[in-house]
């Protein structure tokens, strides 16, 4: 997709600041970034302690307090997702992924009207869900391209490894189960136990969605980050078979509606404003083009939203 040279890219950025640059230039973003990096550091410290000193006392409430304070700095859902997408451009570690998943899951919990206590447990589920990945060599985790069968077998061990690291902590069982079950899928295609719908804990199902969304919207060596509408499109293709409908439908609907009134770039090079989200087809909203005409993307199946601008 990206075919221009670094020089061309810099010139085009100077002439037309990207959405990412606009988000990053807000003073609140910088304050948020400092708090975010502090929290990433705390997650790293607590993971290292759990891994290296299994019997050391752990205070998971401090890390929870910091994470809820970070969440409260986002006054709108758009703030949250804008900041997460942009924070990820600078830090793609397992720790920042865990923090993003915690923040996304906490927001999902609010949409689902969970109690305060449930929100806190769900946030901790996100913070600890990938702790088992710390034991996988970084060169495998960050490997560009496809995994070999042996490498994938190693990756598939991280949920159980995570559960084993957490199982003796004095913490809610749901946190341990989220580490173990966040790669299970409703159709039985997940791992490690190939559980099916009805056998997977609710909070693990929520974490699974937050986990995949964060991975889709992160840059990978083999592709640019997907824009939220491309992520929704991928979820819509197979989401109902893989995830609990009651969670995935709420999630996708809320994400799409977050971008109502935003400017977007289409795959035909035109830019437009999202005028109205179509609740039945979230990736096909009514949009207003720069020439003022309003079109319904339902009537234009070849058009796609490829970027928030
Ligand atoms: Fe994972």
Q: How far is the CA of 74 from the centre of ligand 1 (A)?
A: 25
Domain boundaries, the chain: 17-225, 228-309
Q: Does 7 have pLDDT greater than 50? A: no
Q: How far is the CA of 206 from the centre of ligand 1 (A)?
A: 13
Whole-Å CA distances, 129 to 60, 95, 102, 140, 163: 13, 10, 9, 19, 9
Q: How far is the CA of 155 from the centre of ligand 1 (A)?
A: 8
263: left (phi over 0), alpha (psi -120 to 50) or beta: beta
* Token couple for 249: 């439908």
Among 166-170, 182-186, 220-224, 243-247, the least confident range: 220-224
Q: How far is the CA of 308 from the centre of ligand 1 (A)?
A: 27
Domain formed by 17-225, architecture: Orthogonal Bundle (1.10)
Q: Does 237 have pLDDT greater than 60? A: yes
Q: How far is the CA of 182 from the centre of ligand 1 (A)?
A: 6
The percentage of the chain sitting over the pLDDT mark of 70, rounded to a whole number, equals 93
Q: How far is the CA of 158 from the centre of ligand 1 (A)?
A: 7
Q: How far is the CA of 142 from the centre of ligand 1 (A)?
A: 14
- pLDDT digits 0-9 by tens, 12-40: 444 456 777 777 888 888 888 899 999 99
Q: How far apart are the first and last CA of the chain?
A: 16
**Sign (positive or negative) of CA dihedral 237, 240, 245, 248:** negative
Q: How far is the CA of 151 from the centre of ligand 1 (A)?
A: 14
* pTM of this structure: 0.90
The number of residues making up the chain comes to 309
């Amino acid at each position: 997709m990206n075919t221009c040279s670094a020089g061309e890219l810099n010139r085009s950025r100077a002439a037309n600041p990207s959405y990412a640059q606009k988000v990053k230039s807000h003073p609140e973003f910088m304050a948020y970034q400092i708090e975010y990096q502090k929290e990433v550091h705390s997650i790293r410290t607590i993971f290292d302690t759990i891994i290296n000193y299994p019997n050391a006392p752990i205070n998971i409430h401090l890390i929870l307090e910091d994470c809820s304070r970070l969440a409260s700095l986002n006054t709108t859902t758009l703030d949250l997702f804008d900041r997460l997408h942009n924070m990820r451009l600078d830090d793609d570690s397992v720790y920042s992924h865990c923090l993003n998943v915690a923040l996304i899951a906490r927001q999902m919990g609010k949409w689902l009207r969970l109690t305060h206590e449930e929100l806190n447990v769900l946030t901790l589920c996100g913070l600890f869900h990938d702790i088992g990945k710390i034991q996988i060599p970084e060169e495998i985790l960050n490997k560009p391209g496809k995994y070999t069968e042996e490498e994938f077998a190693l990756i598939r061990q991280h949920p159980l490894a995570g559960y084993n690291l957490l199982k003796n902590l004095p913490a809610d069982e749901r946190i341990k189960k989220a580490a173990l079950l966040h790669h299970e899928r409703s159709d039985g295609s997940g791992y490690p136990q190939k559980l099916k719908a009805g056998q997977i804990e609710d909070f693990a199902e929520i974490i699974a969605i937050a986990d995949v969304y964060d991975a889709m919207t992160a840059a990978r060596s083999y592709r640019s980050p997907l824009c939220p509408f491309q992520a929704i499109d991928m979820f819509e293709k197979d989401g109902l078979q893989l995830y609990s409908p009651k969670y995935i439908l709420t999630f996708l609907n809320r994400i799409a509606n977050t971008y109502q009134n935003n400017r977007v770039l289409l795959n035909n090079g035109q830019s437009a404003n999202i005028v109205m989200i179509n609740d039945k087809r979230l990736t096909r909203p009514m949009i207003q083009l720069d020439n003022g005409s309003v079109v319904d993307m339902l009537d234009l199946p070849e058009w796609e939203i490829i970027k928030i601008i």
